[in-house]
Amino acid sequence: MPITILPNVTHDTKPALFVSVLAAALFSMSTHAATLIHAGSLIAADSDKVQKNMTVVVEGNMIKEIKSGFIAPSENDTLIDLSDYTLMPGLMDMHTHLTFEHSGPGTYLERFVLNEADFTIQAVGYAKTTLEAGFTTVRNLGDGYNETVALRKAINRGAIPGPRVFTAAKSIATTGGHADPTNGQAKIISTDPGPKQGVINGVAEARKAVRQRYKDGADLIKITATGGVLSVAKSGQNPQFMEDELQAVVDTAKDYGLTVAVHAHGKEGMRRAIVAGVDSIEHGTYMDKEIFRLMKKHGTYYVPTIMAGNWVAEKSKIDGFFPALVRPKAAEIGPKIKQTFAAAYKAGVKIAFGTDSGVSAHGDNGLEFVLMVEAGMKPIEAIRSATYHGAALLNELDRLGTVEAGKLADLVAVKGDPLADITEMQDIDFVMKDGNVYLQK
Ligand SMILES: [Zn+2]
């Protein structure tokens, strides 16, 4: 069967969602039309259990109920036969960059020759690719010009297909920090960006940058607490925020109901951020036992992005792929993330799935499952990290993350058993988001 794309009917705000749910409920009372999905295996992801031969009943954009056995559809119902498939919640990637894709040396030129409209149109394609890979929800952790706020609106009003986007808009850094957009530029073109552009120094600017993002329509805050691999700067791991700046970001974000995601490779920057009360550490390369303990104490999530580590390590072997300042960082930091993940998992740190796609190619997100399992994670836990734990990190467990009555109908399926062969997660055969089917192979 060819790919089926139906119009999308999500809404941008919860009150609007409530109205649409109410409308769907009234509609269903008059017609009782439902979609029945026969699932050979069901991973509901609220536990480690797998249930056999189940029927998931979808009405409007909601999961109405889940029944044992294959229930026969009544006259007005639609049947989706996935009796040879494993059905699970829509997948959630907690670290993407939908506006770009790193494709080689030329990528560093893009910021000088592309405008926000170019990045926005690129994002439209990457959003579709991501949804068709089974990812019905993503966090976008840094764009250039708030393009992903516009992207989210277009997806939510049904203009274009894509995942539910929770965006940090433009990341926040300090001067010369990982997300300072002017790093490595000659004086003749360089500017001195401030809180509006996501560069802060001191407590007042930290507060302003968070409030600016709230005003711009961001769903959460992303900061770069240490150096990073791909920025044109010397250190990939030095601490780049002072304690008072971190505290100002976290306290201000809390006032607006925004969570805080933190890019960090080096230990000291991570330690300061965790103590300040951030919600997730991204990459986390140089974590050790002390950091694991701190994360467990503060309930901080780890989003490993093993794929990004592997990708930069591999590309660092190619002459001329990265600028001279970047190459040694990529070679040193990249290969370490997988072992850090293995140790964090063993230590019992909470893990949410994330790929940093945009560094690697969009649509390849499922490879992260394979790398997580290679590093020692149980397949069911890898799947739960990309469903239940994604929703928990987003504070969206009331609507997303598991297959349960009353949740939004975001569902994916693979042929065969992903718990026996995790590479199945790289080949998603069925995607439903908000009750609409976007992919049916
Ligand atoms: Zn990233």
- Over the stretch 148-166, which tens digit does the pLDDT of each residue have? 999 999 999 999 999 999 9
Residue pair 129/122 in contact (Cβ under 8 Å)? The answer is no
The predicted model scores a pTM of: 0.92
CA 198 – ligand 1 centroid, Å: 15
| Sheet of strand 280-283, all strands in order from the earlier edge strand to the far edge | 220-224, 259-264, 280-283, 301-303
Write out the residue limits of the CATH 2.30.40.10 domain(s) in the chain. 32-89+406-411+414-440
CATH class entry, domain 32-89+406-411+414-440: mainly beta
Query: Considering Cα of 313, then 317, then 322, then 325, what sign does the dihedral take?
Result: positive
**311 is written with which tokens?**
């990708």
Q: What pLDDT is recorded for position 20?
A: 53
CA 15 – ligand 1 centroid, Å: 31
The terminus-to-terminus CA distance of the chain in angstroms comes to 6
Residue 184: pLDDT band with limits 50, 70, 90 = confident
| Beta-sheet pairing, 62-68 with 51-59 | antiparallel
Give dist(CA 169, CA 132) in Å, integer: 23
To the nearest whole percent, how much of the chain has pLDDT over 70?
A: 93
pLDDT at residue 25 tops 90? no
Write out the residue limits of the CATH 3.20.20.140 domain(s) in the chain. 91-400
Q: What pLDDT is recorded for position 6?
A: 40
Q: How far is CA 435 from CA 44, 60, 176, 243, 419, in A?
A: 16, 6, 45, 45, 25
Q: What pLDDT is recorded for position 105?
A: 80
Q: How far is CA 278 from CA 73, 253, 256, 299, in A?
A: 47, 10, 14, 9
In this prediction, residues 180-193 reach a mean pLDDT of 90
Give dist(CA 262, CA 338) in Å, integer: 18
Residue 231: pLDDT band with limits 50, 70, 90 = confident
CA 340 – ligand 1 centroid, Å: 17
pLDDT at residue 4 tops 70? no
CA 264 – ligand 1 centroid, Å: 10
Give dist(CA 309, CA 314) in Å, integer: 9
Say whether 139 sits in a helix, a strand or coil.
Answer: strand
- Which alpha helices (DSSP H) does 115-226 contain, by range? 116-132, 147-156, 203-216
Say whether 24 sits in a helix, a strand or coil.
Answer: helix
Give Dmax (Cα) for the chain: 70
Q: What pLDDT is recorded for position 229?
A: 86
CA 144 – ligand 1 centroid, Å: 12
Residue pair 138/164 in contact (Cβ under 8 Å)? The answer is yes
Give dist(CA 414, CA 35) in Å, integer: 19
Give dist(CA 202, CA 254) in Å, integer: 18
In this prediction, residues 406-413 reach a mean pLDDT of 98
CA 170 – ligand 1 centroid, Å: 11
Say whether 373 sits in a helix, a strand or coil.
Answer: helix
pLDDT at residue 278 tops 90? yes
CA 321 – ligand 1 centroid, Å: 19
* Average per-residue pLDDT for the chain: 92
Q: What pLDDT is recorded for position 30?
A: 45
Say whether 255 sits in a helix, a strand or coil.
Answer: helix
CA 439 – ligand 1 centroid, Å: 27
Q: How far is CA 179 from CA 53, 149, 199, 251, 315, in A?
A: 49, 18, 8, 21, 21
CA 228 – ligand 1 centroid, Å: 9
pLDDT at residue 180 tops 60? yes
Residue pair 356/97 in contact (Cβ under 8 Å)? The answer is yes
Choice among 85-94, 125-134, 266-275, 323-332 with the minimum mean pLDDT: 323-332
Amino acid, single-letter form, for residue 190: S
Residue pair 65/57 in contact (Cβ under 8 Å)? The answer is yes
**410 is written with which tokens?**
């975001």
In this prediction, residues 92-96 reach a mean pLDDT of 98
CA 324 – ligand 1 centroid, Å: 20
CA 99 – ligand 1 centroid, Å: 12
pLDDT at residue 235 tops 90? no
pLDDT at residue 137 tops 60? yes
Q: What pLDDT is recorded for position 22?
A: 52
Q: What pLDDT is recorded for position 23?
A: 52
pLDDT at residue 29 tops 60? no
pLDDT tens-digit series, residues 307-357: 999 999 999 999 999 989 899 988 988 899 999 999 999 999 999 999 999
pLDDT at residue 10 tops 50? no
Q: Which residue has the higher pLDDT, 28 or 391?
A: 391
pLDDT at residue 106 tops 90? no
CA 356 – ligand 1 centroid, Å: 5
Phi, psi angle pair for 170, to nearest 5°:
-75, 130
To the nearest whole percent, how much of the chain has pLDDT over 90?
A: 83
In this prediction, residues 102-109 reach a mean pLDDT of 83
CA 300 – ligand 1 centroid, Å: 18
CA 305 – ligand 1 centroid, Å: 9
Which CATH number is 91-400's, of 3.20.20.140, 3.20.20.20, 1.10.287.180, 3.40.50.720? 3.20.20.140
In this prediction, residues 186-199 reach a mean pLDDT of 93
In this prediction, residues 96-104 reach a mean pLDDT of 92
pLDDT at residue 17 tops 50? no
